Amino acid sequence: MSNLKDLFISQSFFGIINLENSTQPITSQSGDIQLQDGIGTNLGIFINASTKDVTISNKLNVDDTVDIDGDLDVTGNIYLSGSWIHTGSIDVKGDVTVDGNVSANIATFDTVNTRLLHVTEESASVIFSSGSNILGDENTDTQTLNGSVYIPFKEFLKGNVLDTDTRINQKQNSGSFNAYTQSTDIRLNNIESFTSSQENINSGYNSFTESVDNKFTTLQSYTASVDNSLSSLNAFTSSQISINSGYNSFTQSADGRLTNIELTTASLDNSVTLINAFTSSTNQRLTSIEAFTSSLSFDFVEKTEFNTYTASVDSSLSSINSFTASADVSITALNLYTASQDVHNSAINNFTASQQSHNSAVNTFTASAQSEIDNLVAATGSYARTDIGNTFNGTQVFSGSVGGDVHSITVASQTASIDCSQGNFFTLEQATGTNYLLKATNIAAGKTITLRVNKTNPAGTISIDTGSIKFPSGFSYEITPGDNKQDVVTFVSFDNSSLYAVASKNFV
């Protein structure tokens, strides 16, 4: 017996519960260890040193719900006031007295004494019904016994006591048995015919299933081909965009040059119009001169004056002819440039028409590919992408390992922040002789995070931001003292307020 007052414990601790032998830990003892109070009084509760099973030798009163996950061995009586809900099998060695109803899907009893028993189905190899029994309570009730019925004492049968052979002979003689047999043969033939038909239908189902499998295989091959085609299309589209950019630059330059040509042509048109107007005016003046000259008498003006005036007119006409010749040369050059530009513009138009036709074909193929992809998405229900996050519902099975990036925590202003949005694996280097504040940010529900703390400076310490990280009471994390020490801290989250953590220290 262990008396704690002999171990210098004050009398105020007489009520403490301890092992029968408190001088040794339970792992150093054997068998069932009695629990006692502070002065050695047995409490009727035993703990097995090896299995840690608990045995109660006294009466156990429970006034609330009891959840038991495992076996419960009871020697004695169990008194229940209320409902007893049990999942699994119950083996009762003894009597069970129930004041009320008992409902069970499957139950095994040695002896059942009951006033009224409602049974839907009895299933057993041998059922003994001792004593006198009555099947049915009215003459119209029907009792159906499937299988053989053995009656060893036919002399105790009342009513028609003919045995089975005699009844069969009577049925055969009356013809009703043959009629029944013939009817049964017909029904068996119908069953065989239906079975043969069903086998043909099943064969059709098998062929259809194989066809569907082949279609899915073809669809998968086609999808891979479409992926390659889309990759090529994307590469071509990127190249085409670069080419079109060059075309656009050239077209803009050509537009500018055509604008300048149109401005020059409009200016030349104005110049030619002015030339024509001047020529017309000159013709009118010459006509007037000729008319005036013809009306003049020979002695009206001196010949010298007239020659001087005529030379002046000839000089003006010569200047007009020189300007007209120069204008003809400019117009000829303009016509040549315009013809060359027309040929160049025609080539651009032909290429643009060809490019539009090619783009139309690309758009048609893209629309067809998109339709195929939409059909594939509709058939598969969903698809995962590698460039964005995905949400999976239901059970997912991965054959192989699933890894994650390991992120190194950067310390800023003596604060080491775990950014939960980055991943699930983090490392923290405590290489200084100062104190780091460990906290968590961007917390989301359903996260599991693992942190390795590597301490390379013996003077370094870590404190916890209790607002974002919670440890069990009395087990707050303190970094392992010393140099070159490694601790591992595991976190889980159930909402976005804080992480719940436990630490494993000093890995070697």
- What the block records as the tokens of 206 is 């098998």
Output the CA angle 362-366-372, nearest 5 degrees: 145
Question: What count of other Cβ atoms lies within 10 Å of the Cβ of residue 395?
Answer: 5
pLDDT in tens, 194-247: 888 877 887 777 777 787 677 767 777 777 776 777 777 777 777 777 776 766
Most confident of 179-193, 238-252, 280-294: 179-193
Q: In angstroms, rounded to a whole number, what is the distance separating the alpha carbons of residues 32 and 158?
A: 65
| C-alpha distances out from residue 195 to 116, 185, 192, Å | 45, 15, 5
Output the six-digit token pair for 479.
Answer: 């970094």
Chain centroid to Cα 90, Å, comes to 43
Phi and psi at residue 417, in whole multiples of 5°? -105, 130
pTM for this model (two decimals): 0.30
Which tens digit of pLDDT belongs to each residue from 308-335?
A: 777 776 787 787 788 878 877 877 887 8
* CB of 96 closer than 8 Å to CB of 80: no
Instruction: Assign 80 to helix, strand or coil.
Output: coil
Q: pLDDT digit string (tens) for 355-369?
A: 888 888 888 888 887
The pLDDT tens digits of the residues spanning 436-489 come to 999 999 999 999 999 999 988 888 899 999 999 999 998 889 899 888 899 999
Residue 132, SS3 per DSSP: coil
Phi, psi of 52, deg, nearest 5: 65, 20
Answer for the pair 399, 422: CB distance below 8 angstroms, yes or no.
Answer: no
Most confident of 7-11, 197-201, 254-258, 468-472: 468-472
How far is residue 193's CA from residue 186's CA, in Å, rounded to a whole number? 10
Mean pLDDT throughout 393-414? 89
